[in-house]
Amino acid sequence: SRLVGGIVQCQRCAPQSYSLYASPVQNTGGHHSICNECPYGAQCQGGASVIAQSGQWGWINDTARQTVANLVPLPPGLGCTADNIFNNCTHFNSCSAGREGVMCGRCSQGYG
Protein backbone atom coordinates (compact mmCIF):
# COMPACT_ATOMS: atom_id res chain seq x y z
CA SER A 1 0.00 0.00 0.00
CA ARG A 2 1.05 3.60 -0.37
CA LEU A 3 -0.25 6.94 0.79
CA VAL A 4 -1.63 9.21 -1.96
CA GLY A 5 -3.25 12.51 -1.02
CA GLY A 6 -3.84 11.35 2.56
CA ILE A 7 -5.60 8.15 1.41
CA VAL A 8 -4.06 4.68 1.67
CA GLN A 9 -4.02 3.10 -1.80
CA CYS A 10 -4.17 -0.71 -1.60
CA GLN A 11 -2.23 -2.49 -4.32
CA ARG A 12 -1.82 -6.23 -4.88
CA CYS A 13 1.73 -7.40 -4.22
CA ALA A 14 3.58 -8.28 -7.43
CA PRO A 15 4.89 -11.78 -8.24
CA GLN A 16 7.97 -12.69 -6.16
CA SER A 17 6.53 -10.72 -3.22
CA TYR A 18 3.69 -11.17 -0.71
CA SER A 19 1.81 -9.63 2.21
CA LEU A 20 -0.05 -11.64 4.85
CA TYR A 21 -0.65 -8.53 6.94
CA ALA A 22 -3.98 -6.73 6.79
CA SER A 23 -3.41 -3.15 7.86
CA PRO A 24 -5.67 -1.98 10.69
CA VAL A 25 -5.29 1.64 9.54
CA GLN A 26 -7.94 2.96 7.18
CA ASN A 27 -7.29 6.01 4.99
CA THR A 28 -4.73 7.63 7.26
CA GLY A 29 -0.99 8.10 7.22
CA GLY A 30 -0.35 5.53 9.99
CA HIS A 31 1.11 2.07 9.58
CA HIS A 32 0.14 0.28 6.44
CA SER A 33 0.98 -2.97 4.67
CA ILE A 34 4.13 -3.51 2.67
CA CYS A 35 4.97 -6.24 0.19
CA ASN A 36 7.76 -8.52 1.42
CA GLU A 37 10.34 -10.23 -0.76
CA CYS A 38 9.54 -13.90 -1.36
CA PRO A 39 11.48 -16.03 1.16
CA TYR A 40 14.08 -18.58 0.08
CA GLY A 41 12.47 -21.99 -0.51
CA ALA A 42 9.09 -20.56 -1.50
CA GLN A 43 7.25 -19.47 -4.61
CA CYS A 44 5.26 -16.25 -4.41
CA GLN A 45 2.68 -15.48 -7.07
CA GLY A 46 1.78 -12.08 -5.66
CA GLY A 47 -0.93 -11.07 -3.22
CA ALA A 48 -0.90 -13.32 -0.13
CA SER A 49 0.55 -16.33 -1.97
CA VAL A 50 3.56 -17.95 -0.25
CA ILE A 51 3.86 -21.57 -1.38
CA ALA A 52 6.55 -24.00 -0.24
CA GLN A 53 8.74 -25.61 -2.87
CA SER A 54 8.89 -29.43 -2.68
CA GLY A 55 10.30 -30.66 0.61
CA GLN A 56 10.45 -27.18 2.21
CA TRP A 57 8.61 -25.87 5.29
CA GLY A 58 8.25 -22.35 6.71
CA TRP A 59 6.75 -20.48 9.65
CA ILE A 60 5.56 -17.01 10.60
CA ASN A 61 8.72 -15.15 11.58
CA ASP A 62 7.17 -11.90 12.81
CA THR A 63 3.67 -12.35 14.21
CA ALA A 64 3.00 -8.60 14.35
CA ARG A 65 3.67 -8.09 10.62
CA GLN A 66 2.87 -11.66 9.49
CA THR A 67 6.16 -12.27 7.66
CA VAL A 68 7.35 -15.73 6.68
CA ALA A 69 10.89 -16.83 7.54
CA ASN A 70 13.06 -18.52 4.94
CA LEU A 71 11.84 -22.04 4.43
CA VAL A 72 13.94 -24.99 5.57
CA PRO A 73 14.40 -28.38 3.90
CA LEU A 74 12.75 -31.33 5.63
CA PRO A 75 13.82 -34.97 5.66
CA PRO A 76 12.44 -36.96 2.69
CA GLY A 77 8.76 -37.81 3.03
CA LEU A 78 7.82 -35.08 5.50
CA GLY A 79 7.43 -31.99 3.33
CA CYS A 80 4.97 -31.38 0.52
CA THR A 81 5.55 -32.68 -2.99
CA ALA A 82 5.19 -30.68 -6.19
CA ASP A 83 5.89 -32.56 -9.39
CA ASN A 84 4.20 -33.18 -12.75
CA ILE A 85 1.89 -35.82 -11.26
CA PHE A 86 1.00 -34.61 -7.77
CA ASN A 87 1.09 -31.25 -5.98
CA ASN A 88 0.14 -30.80 -2.32
CA CYS A 89 2.30 -27.69 -1.83
CA THR A 90 -0.40 -25.09 -1.22
CA HIS A 91 0.99 -22.96 1.67
CA PHE A 92 4.35 -22.08 3.20
CA ASN A 93 3.82 -24.75 5.88
CA SER A 94 2.40 -27.57 3.74
CA CYS A 95 3.24 -31.16 4.68
CA SER A 96 3.08 -34.48 2.86
CA ALA A 97 -0.21 -36.38 3.05
CA GLY A 98 -0.85 -37.69 6.57
CA ARG A 99 1.57 -35.29 8.29
CA GLU A 100 1.05 -31.96 10.10
CA GLY A 101 2.48 -29.65 12.74
CA VAL A 102 5.80 -27.94 13.26
CA MET A 103 8.17 -29.12 10.52
CA CYS A 104 5.55 -31.77 9.66
CA GLY A 105 6.70 -33.67 12.74
CA ARG A 106 3.53 -35.56 13.63
CA CYS A 107 0.98 -37.81 11.99
CA SER A 108 -2.40 -36.30 11.14
CA GLN A 109 -5.57 -37.64 12.72
CA GLY A 110 -6.48 -40.92 11.04
CA TYR A 111 -2.84 -41.76 10.29
CA GLY A 112 -0.62 -43.97 12.43
Which tens digit of pLDDT belongs to each residue from 69-89? 889 999 999 999 977 666 789
21 or 13, higher pLDDT: 13
What is the rounded distance in angstroms from the CA atom of residue 78 to the CA atom of residue 108? 12
Percentage of the chain with pLDDT > 90?
55
For residues 102 and 43, give the distance between their C-alpha atoms in angstroms, rounded to a whole number. Answer: 20
Strand partners, 107: 99
What's the whole-model pTM score?
0.77
Arithmetic mean of pLDDT, 34-63:
92
